[in-house]
Structure formats: C-alpha cells, structure tokens
C-alpha cells in the first residue's frame, strides 16, 4: 500500500506540494479496489439530470447503497463552500441523499455551519454530507 502524505498535496494555496489532487484520486481509487472487491467504485462518472451534467470524483456502490465522494484540496473557505455546493448538485443530479466531501481544510463544525448560506442550505435540506479532513470527521 502506498503511504500518502496529505501535507504534500499540491493545491492552489501550496504549490510546493509533491502530490496533485489527481494523484490523490488515483491513490484512493487503487485503495478501494484493494480493500473490498464487492465495492463498485466508479471514477468520475457522468451524471446527467435536470438538463445539467456533473462529474463527481467517485460514485461508490455497494449492494443497493450508493454514495458520492468528492475530493477538494483547496485550503480556503471559498473553496470549501464550492465543494459543498458541488457535492449537493451531484447528489441532486444522481437522486442520492448521502455524500462524502474530503478536504484538507481543517475547520470545526461551527466554522462549517457558518460557511453555509441560505441558498446552499436549501440544496442540502434533505441530504447528509460527511466532511472528512486529516483531523476530523463531521456530519452536516
């Protein structure tokens, strides 16, 4: 198994990083394929609905369950907001209720809640999004 150092991921804020978001997505895809062959892990599936097209980083299927996984490595609140907005759209297009947003941005639950405006709250009203960062896992 490849040891992945999240601190070395190249981002807009950290051009010194050694890994790109694409490399992280590739490593995660390989990891899922190794840990459980019963998972159907689809990388960048095309989701079309409501006259729009989306391409989340992953659609993960297990038996009758499906979840979207989106990776965002931008280290600022604006990028985090865009990630929540994006995964909310993907969930809507796919007709799903649950998603995971993986981010390097380290924020407490209050900071996350304060980032969400009224428009985004409407999009997320019937969704469950789990935010995973190197230091925490939060459900919003």
Per-residue pLDDT of the chain (140 residues; tens, 9 = 90+): 344 454 544 444 444 444 577 777 888 888 887 888 888 999 999 998 888 889 999 999 999 999 999 988 776 777 788 888 899 999 999 999 999 988 876 666 666 666 666 777 777 778 888 888 776 666 66
Q: What is the pTM of this model?
A: 0.75
Region 21-139: CATH code: 3.40.1350
Q: Compute φ and ψ for 107, nearest 5 degrees.
A: -140, 145
Could you give the CA distance from residue 10 to residue 60 in angstroms, rounded to a whole number? Answer: 25
Rg (CA), the chain: 15
Kindly list the strands in the beta sheet with 98-103, ordered across the sheet, starting from the edge strand earlier in the chain: 40-43, 58-62, 65-72, 98-103, 128-133, 136-139
- CB of 75 within 8 A of CB of 104? yes
Geometric angle at alpha carbon 38, from 36 and 39, rounded to 5°: 75
Nearest to 105 by CA among 31, 32, 11, 42: 11
Q: Are 70 and 102 in contact (CB under 8 A)?
A: yes
Domain edges within the chain: 21-139
């Amino acid at each position: 198994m490849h040891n992945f150092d999240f601190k070395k991921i190249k981002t807009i804020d950290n051009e010194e990083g050694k890994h790109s978001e694409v490399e992280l997505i590739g490593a995660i895809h390989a990891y899922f394929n190794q840990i459980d062959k019963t998972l159907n892990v689809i990388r960048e599936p095309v989701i079309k609905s409501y006259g729009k097209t989306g391409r989340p980083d992953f659609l993960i299927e297990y038996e009758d369950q499906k979840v979207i996984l989106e990776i965002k490595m931008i280290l600022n609140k604006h990028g985090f907001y865009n990630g929540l907005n994006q995964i909310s759209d993907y969930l809507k297009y796919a007709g799903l209720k649950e998603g995971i947003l993986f981010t390097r941005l380290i924020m407490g639950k209050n900071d996350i809640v304060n980032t969400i405006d009224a428009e985004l709250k409407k999009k997320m009203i019937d969704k469950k999004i789990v935010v995973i960062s190197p230091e925490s896992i939060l459900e919003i």
